[in-house]
Amino acid sequence: MKTLSSSLAAIVVAVLPLHTEAQVPMPFAEMQAKITPEQRTRLAQKLAHIEAVMRAVDAAATAETRQWMRETLYRLPLEKVESVPAIANVESVTAAIGRAAKGGSKLLGDNAHDLVYQPWAPCRYIDTRNVGGKISGVQTYDTSANGATYGGSVSCNPITLAGVATDDDIAAFTLNITLVDTSTAASPGFATMRPAGSANLTALVNWTVSSAGFQLGNAATVGTNQSPATGAEIEILTSGPVHAIVDLSGAFTSPVATPLQCALGTQTLTAALAPGNTFTLFANTCPTGYRMVGNACAGTGDFFNIQLSGSGLTNTAQSYCQGKYVGATSTVVTNTPYCCRIPGH
């Protein structure tokens, strides 16, 4: 369901060209939501430069290298992307991307400037051979629904995969569109994907033969329409009846601020103490994905007579408890690490 107020957003395309027309991203419409106009404008500028880089190296780079280049650049802020030259020298471009990525990407995004790229294993979202039949003209899709609605997989759920609350938090999708069976379509013909309601006619896939065996695909980054005037975010336009298959592989989303997520360490060290004993306990094990941020030194029994001389973290990310027991009976002291991670994106 739409809750935002905006005019129709234009398509943002980053493709491996199958035609001679220039792929020029159109500006995004202004938004009144978590996804700001500046974020969408910067995304359009970033994808335009990435496309220029990919066109320059396309003939010389392997498919694996192109994929690495594209996904690394997706994660970088605009300024770092623009530092990579659009030249046909794969080695120079690879080195430039490596230098740009050294300072780290904005994995958490920026509420004022940057969107976050969330990749996932490609999943089938649309398959008109299973649901809907051939597309001739325009067919719209509401991305709040999972893929089973459109002939794909029930597990291909854009909201879940992107880790957002609603599809209003998704500015654009990375995807692959494949056309199948042009036997009832006039040739030559074309198809494109774009935000629902867009007037963009730049082709993503062209065909020159009318054949039941025709099959051809292309990669793209497609912006979404977040206008309240329609429940659909994206659409497919074809010049004649063809089947379309769409696999989603990622999304550009608004940053999400979430509370710090913490847990106790998996290693808790103990020491049984007699009167007069000193102790030093080191513990350094956190759950996978967590980082140690502190620790707790505690005792059982006569813990009021445990005198701490030191407690905290060493420069090697160990926690420690150090001190002496001055009580009259035995007791036990423990060192429990505190571990945290930043959730969200």
Task: Say if residue 64 is in the same domain as residue 210.
Answer: yes
CA-nearest of 256, 231, 242, 254 to 145 is: 231
pLDDT value of position 180: 97
Task: Say if residue 56 is in the same domain as residue 116.
Answer: yes
Task: Say if residue 97 is in the same domain as residue 231.
Answer: yes
Task: Say if residue 55 is in the same domain as residue 159.
Answer: yes
Provide the strand spans (E) within the chain.
116-127, 135-141, 170-180, 189-195, 205-207, 215-223, 234-253, 261-264, 269-273, 278-283, 291-300, 306-313, 319-325, 331-341
Q: Is 24 within the bounds of a domain?
A: no
Block means of pLDDT (10 residues each) for the chain, 345 residues, are 30 33 33 69 92 91 90 90 93 92 59 81 97 97 96 96 89 96 96 93 94 95 80 94 97 79 81 88 85 86 84 83 89 88 68
Q: Which residues contact 20 (CB under 8 A, 6 or more apart)?
A: none
Q: Is 293 within the bounds of a domain?
A: yes
Task: Quote the pTM value.
Answer: 0.68
Task: Say if residue 108 is in the same domain as residue 205.
Answer: yes
Q: Which of 253, 277, 294 is at the close of a domain?
A: 253
pLDDT value of position 17: 31
Cα separation, 204 vs 218, in Å, equals: 6
pLDDT value of position 69: 92
Quick count: other Cβ atoms within 10 Å of Cβ 69?
21
Q: Is 119 within the bounds of a domain?
A: yes
**Structural domains in the chain (count):** 2
Q: Which of 208, 232, 253 is at the close of a domain?
A: 253
Task: Say if residue 141 is in the same domain as residue 265.
Answer: no
pLDDT value of position 3: 31
Q: Which of 253, 272, 292 is at the close of a domain?
A: 253
Residue 60 sits at φ, ψ, to 5 deg, of -100, -20
Whole domain around residue 283: which residue ranges? 261-341
Task: Say if residue 89 is in the same domain as residue 169.
Answer: yes
pLDDT value of position 147: 97
Cα separation, 167 vs 233, in Å, equals: 8
Task: Say if residue 302 is in the same domain as residue 175.
Answer: no
